[in-house]
Amino acid sequence: MRTINFSKLSSADQELLLAARDAMAQAYNPYSNFFVGAALRAGNGEIVTGSNFENASYSATICAERSAIVRAAAMGHTVFGRIAVIGRGAKAPTTEVISPCGVCRQMLFESAQISRMNIEVIMSSSEMKKIVIGTISELLPLGFGPANLGLRMERFRR
């Protein structure tokens, strides 16, 4: 994993992180008041965003990363190589980067095997003063996915 300044990101990665920041404003979070946004770039270059959507039965809450992945799949996109994640509290910015939870890491690992790419995750603090980029294999070492079950993923690549 590497730490990087916003100004050192490629223009494409800056655009992705800014899209995640914009998506963060759409979060439905009446319980935690914590806003999270995610944005991925589909294989055709289109940016697909997601935000967290909480639920009174807590376990039914959907994280921003999963929201973006499922939205992309519903739009016909299952191949992507990068995702940006950013979050903030209701009244205060975060000083540390926001990273995917365990369930999101598993979904990203599955997506990586579908995509045949070691997806890069751009993780940012609220004000983009601290940014860390890591691959899904760094975030979920020894992950278990469809390839471990001998599944052929070609039919899911779009």
- Relative orientation angle of helices 102-115 and 64-74, to the nearest 10 degrees: 30
Distance CA 3, CA 154 (A): 34
Per-residue pLDDT tens digits for 107-142: 999 999 999 999 999 999 999 999 999 999 999 999
Q: For position 132, which CATH number holds?
A: 3.40.140.10
Distance CA 154, CA 110 (A): 13
* Residue 107, pLDDT score: 96
- Cβ-based neighbour number of residue 111 at 10 Å: 24
Residue numbers of the domain that contains 138:
2-156
Per-residue pLDDT tens digits for 68-117: 999 999 999 999 999 999 999 988 899 999 999 999 999 999 999 999 99
* Residue 134, pLDDT score: 98
Per-residue pLDDT tens digits for 25-45: 999 999 999 999 999 999 999
Query: What mean pLDDT do residues 49-56 have?
Result: 97
- Is 46 catalytic? The answer is no
- Tokens representing 35 are 């806003």
Catalytic residue among 15, 54, 65, 138: 65
Count of structural domains, the chain: 1
